[in-house]
């Protein structure tokens, strides 16, 4: 993988080759992994993501004719063109809907968006649950914010990116991915309260603790805009309504344990609602526990929290898949301290907390387990290091 500077030079050169002029700047926004806190963000809950070195980058230059041209190195080679005035939801489809949505939401907020040329390139694997779409939109939004002098604070910019994906692209995502991409800092996990957007950086020095975070790409693509994601979100909202709270975040996560949690769940009329609610309530408690462990430097104790989170995704929220379960079970059987699926679910990536000496053995065992199954793609691996959030490169 190129350095950020090398990548910025490359993206700028590609911009010149495409449009015949120099860009006014290059911006990047990273993908993310989530240590813990799945499907809690749209329930006003807590999350604990980490930015990755893998990033989406955009070279940008303004135009004076109201036209927009967008191109992606990961696209079909076509430069997609439209006008600023024509950017209604549904008017731009496919990958180009993401940058179009970013421009659209700024206009919806009352900002004057001129014509613009954009060239995009991304190292964030698409469909792997590492927030490739949020990285792309955040790079475009930050570029426009700084280039146009809008002065939008980053938590607000994250909300705009969420709205663009919700209302323009049509994916009912929460705000975690966008906030992680914009607000994470190097060497830390971001503890975020998605209700009031308060946040704090929690040091995450894995090397000092003699640990690494291995990321296993199951090579099973997932999608946020499908019915399964919407169905679970609707179920959470219905549960909150039946329990008489604004969101499932409002269930006391510290007290909702054992008999207290069972009594709470008994108030819900359907088993599916009980399972969805149990996951969100206990997942919020796991985020709080994980944040305390990181703050205390007790990194090894994070392992069982991660593994419990995977069991909850698998058994209660039902968003796991055979490839994710196999990666988790195999990693644990070969000495990992903890493992779980990360991201929205239905595929994507698994994170494994382990000692460096075990990485090769765990990776080989997962590869062998996948090879033994008919029709499974071979997994891919990399280790995650907490990286900076979105920024201008040049």
The CA distance from 38 to 194, in Å, is 12
Residue of 41, 117, 121, 177 with catalytic role: 177
Six-digit token pair at 202?
């929690």
Closest by CA to 45, choosing from 257, 291, 324, 259, is: 291
The Cα–Cα gap between 330 and 339 comes to 10
Residue with tokens 């329930």: 43
Kindly state the tokens that stand for 367. 């590869």
Residue 357: phi and psi, rounded to 5, are: -65, -15
Q: CB of 328 within 8 A of CB of 339?
A: yes
Q: Are 48 and 36 in contact (CB under 8 A)?
A: yes
Question: Strand, coil or helix: what is 10?
Answer: helix
Q: What b/e string do you get for 18-40 counting C-beta neighbours within 10 Å, with b at 16 or more?
A: bbeeebebbbbbbbbbbbbbbbb
Mapping DSSP to helix (H, G, I), strand (E, B) and coil, where does residue 86 land? Answer: helix
From the CB of residue 333, how many other CB atoms can be counted at a distance below 10 Å? 11
**Helices 359-371 and 322-333, interaxial angle, to 10°?**
140
Contact 199, 193 (CB under 8 A): yes
Q: Is 117 a catalytic residue?
A: no
Beta strands 115-122 and 67-72 are parallel
Cite the active site residues.
177
């Amino acid at each position: 993988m190129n350095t950020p500077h090398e990548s910025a030079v490359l993206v700028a050169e590609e911009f010149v080759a495409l449009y015949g002029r120099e860009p006014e700047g290059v911006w990047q926004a990273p993908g993310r992994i989530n240590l813990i806190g799945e499907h809690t963000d749209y329930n006003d809950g807590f999350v604990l993501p980490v930015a990755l070195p893998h990033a989406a980058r955009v070279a940008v230059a303004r135009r004076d004719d109201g036209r927009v041209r967008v191109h992606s190195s990961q696209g079909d080679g076509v430069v997609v063109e439209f006008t600023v005035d024509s950017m209604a939801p549904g008017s731009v489809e496919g990958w180009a809907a993401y940058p179009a949505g970013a421009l659209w939401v700024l206009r919806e907020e009352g900002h004057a968006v001129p014509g613009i040329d954009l060239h995009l390139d991304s190292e964030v694997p698409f469909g792997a649950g590492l927030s490739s779409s949020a990285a792309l939109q955040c790079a475009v939004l930050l570029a426009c914010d700084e280039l146009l002098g809008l002065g939008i604070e980053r938590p607000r910019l994250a909300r705009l990116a969420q709205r663009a994906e919700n209302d323009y692209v049509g994916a009912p995502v929460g705000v975690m991915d966008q906030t992680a991409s914009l607000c994470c800092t190097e060497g830390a996990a971001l503890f975020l309260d998605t209700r009031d957007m308060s946040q704090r950086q929690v040091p995450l020095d894995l090397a000092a603790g003699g640990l690494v975070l291995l990321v296993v790409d199951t090579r099973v693509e997932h999608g946020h805009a499908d019915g399964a994601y919407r169905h679970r979100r609707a179920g959470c909202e219905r549960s909150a309504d039946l329990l008489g709270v604004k969101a499932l975040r409002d269930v006391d996560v510290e007290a909702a344990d054992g008999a207290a949690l069972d009594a709470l769940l008994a108030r819900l009329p359907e088993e599916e609602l009980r399972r969805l609610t149990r996951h969100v309530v206990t997942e919020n408690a796991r985020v709080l526990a994980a944040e305390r462990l990181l703050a205390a430097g007790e990194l090894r104790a994070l392992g069982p929290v991660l593994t419990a989170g995977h069991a909850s995704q698998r058994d209660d929220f039902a968003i796991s898949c055979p490839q994710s379960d196999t990666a988790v079970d195999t990693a644990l059987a070969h000495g990992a301290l903890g493992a779980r699926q990360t991201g929205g679910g239905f595929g994507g990536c698994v994170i494994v907390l382990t000692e460096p000496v075990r990485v090769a053995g765990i990776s080989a065992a997962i590869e062998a387990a996948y090879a033994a199954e008919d029709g499974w793609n071979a997994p891919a691996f990399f280790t995650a290091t907490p990286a900076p959030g979105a920024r201008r490169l040049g």
